[in-house]
């Protein structure tokens, strides 16, 4: 069947409208874009447009997930056991790290991939450099190499690769840095389902969401590569959280002790309608209900102690069994797609650029947290937000989740480590700690036992 017949069958023949005007090169690239599109899948997604989840009903049957809480003893295991178990797994070289860095970072308004954002409050280290520094310090602590799998998207791939090349892979060994690119999905016209064109020779494409991770890991042979290296656990974080405790031994330990396939680090919500995903359990399956889908009455529910019943806020830090990801790849459907109404510029039938003011298009995205209900066993571990979560989402000036708030959180954490170790840091000074100097409060204590530091200016301890 010719391409034209194929496209006609899927109601997308308009895509060939400008083909006769293209140069051979443009035509080749355009055909490559078309070849990447799974038209039957897109047709299924468009056909199911009216299928909606009754979140309200779902939320009403939601209960707190199986979890280890910070302020109470778990009946089956304790923190010390978890830390020891996790440390052993790390030392045995069973753990790899995935960082997702394919997002377009529109809210931050930074013109490069977010991983290149200089976030170190004093050092000005980039987000990538900070994560790699931590990884290298962990490698040193456990005397093992921990491979880093960085997921990019067509929007961030070239600049990310160039960055790592120009910066000596941020210190990582060549075999320990694996960069792979996620897939794209076309944006379609909301009224007609027709794929929008960005120019006469290109489609309006965007990354297929962080949930594109699972298919991308498989497509690029990362799961196989990990298996060959003896890695059966992946820790996962988003590039834009400089506080993420990558490869946290306690989290990994709880994952193993609870025999979970997917364990997620969460924080206690500060108030009922906080803008985070709610990690809950429905009919025995752990899943996330977005804050916008949680009815107020459900969000406000309290337990006997007067605490929020649905307390667990998603921070997108997880541990996956490699075999679990392999089973999702092998399943027929993989992760579901979510649709979002967006403003997407496009060219009209005469090739003129149209820049709509209101949402005109539907984009399709997969989310990593949709892995949760697919797991036979999922587990939840509470972390302290001030120690593990400071996302960089918005530009400075916004009320929350900005570079400024992340830097303040980082400085506060490091100040806490120093103060707990007996140091005096004047309020007017800032101290940033490199993971090579100390990875945590205990390391800080050991360092200060041997050093006598008087803080007289902003200091970068490294």
Binding segment toward ligand UTP, per CB under 6 A, in 32-40, 104-112, 169-177, 370-378: 104-112
Name the residue whose CB lies closest to ligand UTP.
103
Residue located via tokens 């209960």:
63
Taking the C-alpha atoms of residue 24 and residue 321, their distance in angstroms, rounded to an integer, is 46
Q: What is the sign, positive or negative, of the torsion defined by CA atoms of 217, 209, 247, 451?
A: positive
Among positions 129-158, residues that touch ligand UTP (CB under 6 A) are 151, 153
Q: Which of 64, 86, 96, 102 binds ligand UTP (CB under 6 A)?
A: 102
Q: Which of 65, 86, 120, 209 binds ligand UTP (CB under 6 A)?
A: 209
Taking the C-alpha atoms of residue 415 and residue 403, their distance in angstroms, rounded to an integer, is 18
Instruction: Compute the CA torsion angle 210, 343, 314, 148 (nearest 10 deg).
Output: 30
If binding is defined by CB under 6 A, does position 103 make contact with ligand UTP? yes
Q: Which of 45, 97, 98, 100 binds ligand UTP (CB under 6 A)?
A: 100
The nearer residue to ligand UTP, 209 or 334, going by C-beta atoms, is: 209
Backbone phi, then psi, for 367, in 5-degree steps?
Answer: -120, 135
Outline where 209-259 has alpha helix (H).
Answer: 213-219, 222-228, 249-257
If binding is defined by CB under 6 A, does position 104 make contact with ligand UTP? yes
Among positions 60-79, residues that touch ligand UTP (CB under 6 A) are none
Binding segment toward ligand UTP, per CB under 6 A, in 46-54, 135-143, 214-222, 234-242: 234-242
Q: At what angle do helices 79-91 and 249-257 cross, to 10 degrees?
A: 100
Q: Which of 133, 157, 240, 245 binds ligand UTP (CB under 6 A)?
A: 240
Residue located via tokens 């929020």:
308
The nearer residue to ligand UTP, 215 or 282, going by C-beta atoms, is: 215
Among positions 167-186, residues that touch ligand UTP (CB under 6 A) are 182
If binding is defined by CB under 6 A, does position 435 make contact with ligand UTP? no
How many CB atoms sit inside 10 A of residue 99's CB? 25
How many CB atoms sit inside 10 A of residue 139's CB? 20
292, burial (CB in 10 Å: exposed 0-12, middle 13-18, buried 19+): exposed
Q: Cβ of residue 204: shortest distance to ligand UTP, in angstroms?
A: 15
Q: Which of 131, 134, 194, 210 binds ligand UTP (CB under 6 A)?
A: 210
Binding mask 11-40 for ligand UTP (x = CB under 6 A): ------------------------------
Binding segment toward ligand UTP, per CB under 6 A, in 107-115, 278-286, 347-355, 397-405: 107-115
If binding is defined by CB under 6 A, does position 281 make contact with ligand UTP? no
If binding is defined by CB under 6 A, does position 313 make contact with ligand UTP? no
Backbone phi, then psi, for 351, in 5-degree steps?
Answer: 90, 15
Q: Which of 239, 249, 262, 266 binds ligand UTP (CB under 6 A)?
A: 239
Taking the C-alpha atoms of residue 216 and residue 449, their distance in angstroms, rounded to an integer, is 47
Q: What is the sign, positive or negative, of the torsion defined by CA atoms of 380, 386, 390, 394?
A: positive
If binding is defined by CB under 6 A, does position 403 make contact with ligand UTP? no
Residue located via tokens 């530091």:
453
If binding is defined by CB under 6 A, does position 363 make contact with ligand UTP? no
Q: Cβ of residue 213: shortest distance to ligand UTP, in angstroms?
A: 7
Binding segment toward ligand UTP, per CB under 6 A, in 4-12, 203-211, 275-283, 401-409: 203-211
Q: Which two tokens stand for residue 361?
A: 């298009």
Quick one: which of 145, 143, 153, 141 has its CA closest to 171? 145
- HSE (CB half, 13 Å, CA atoms) of 83? 3
Taking the C-alpha atoms of residue 280 and residue 289, their distance in angstroms, rounded to an integer, is 7
The nearer residue to ligand UTP, 45 or 448, going by C-beta atoms, is: 45
The nearer residue to ligand UTP, 86 or 211, going by C-beta atoms, is: 211
The nearer residue to ligand UTP, 64 or 209, going by C-beta atoms, is: 209
Q: Cβ of residue 240: shortest distance to ligand UTP, in angstroms?
A: 5
Number of H helices and E strands in the chain, helices first, is 15, 21
* Binding-site ranges for ligand UTP (CB under 6 A): 100-108, 114, 151, 153, 182, 207, 209-210, 212, 238-240, 393
């Amino acid at each position: 069947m010719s391409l034209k017949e194929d496209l006609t069958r899927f109601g997308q023949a308009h895509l060939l409208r400008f083909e006769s005007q293209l140069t051979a090169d443009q035509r080749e690239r355009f055909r490559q874009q078309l070849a990447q599109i799974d038209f039957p899948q897109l047709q299924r997604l468009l056909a199911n447009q009216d299928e909606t989840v009754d979140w309200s009903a779902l939320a009403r049957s939601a209960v707190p997930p199986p979890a280890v809480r910070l302020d109470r003893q778990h009946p089956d295991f304790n923190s010390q056991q978890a830390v020891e178990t996790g440390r052993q797994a790390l030392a045995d070289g069973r753990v790899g790290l995935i960082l997702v860095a394919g997002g377009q970072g529109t809210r931050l308004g930074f013109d490069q991939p977010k991983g290149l954002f200089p976030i170190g409050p004093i050092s000005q280290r980039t987000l990538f450099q900070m994560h790699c520094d931590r990884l290298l310090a962990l490698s040193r602590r456990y005397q093992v190499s921990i491979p880093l799998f960085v997921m990019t998207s067509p929007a961030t791939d070239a600049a990310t690769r160039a960055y790592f090349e120009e910066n000596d892979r941020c210190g990582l060994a060549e075999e320990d840095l694996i960069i792979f690119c996620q897939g794209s999905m076309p944006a379609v016209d909301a009224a007609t389902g027709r794929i929008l064109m960005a120019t006469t020779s290109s489609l309006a494409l965007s990354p297929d969401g962080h949930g594109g991770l699972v298919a991308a890991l498989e497509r690029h042979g990362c799961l196989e590569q990990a298996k060959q290296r003896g890695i059966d656990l992946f820790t996962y974080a988003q590039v834009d959280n400089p506080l993420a405790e990558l490869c946290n031994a306690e989290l990994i330990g709880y994952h193993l002790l609870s025999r979970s396939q997917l364990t997620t680090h969460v924080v206690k919500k500060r108030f009922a309608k906080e803008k985070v995903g709610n990690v809950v359990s429905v009919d025995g399956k752990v899943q996330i209900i977005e804050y916008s889908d949680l009815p107020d009455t459900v969000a406000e529910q309290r337990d006997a102690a007067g605490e929020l019943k649905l307390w667990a806020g998603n921070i997108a830090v997880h541990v996956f069994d490699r075999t679990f990801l392999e089973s999702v790849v092998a399943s027929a459907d993989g992760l579901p797609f979510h649709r979002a109404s967006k403003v997407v510029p496009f060219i009209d039938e005469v090739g003129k650029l149209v820049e709509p003011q209101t949402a005109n298009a539907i984009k399709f995205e997969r989310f990593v947290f949709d892995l949760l209900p697919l797991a036979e066993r999922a587990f939840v571990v509470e972390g302290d937000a001030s120690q593990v979560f400071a996302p960089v989402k918005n530009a400075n000036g916004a009320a929350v989740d900005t570079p400024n708030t992340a830097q303040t959180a980082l400085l506060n954490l490091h100040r806490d480590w120093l103060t707990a170790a007996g140091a005096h840091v004047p309020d007017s000074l800032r101290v940033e700690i490199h993971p090579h100097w100390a990875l945590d409060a205990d390391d800080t204590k050991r360092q200060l036992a041997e050093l006598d530091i008087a803080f007289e200016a902003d200091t970068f301890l490294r």
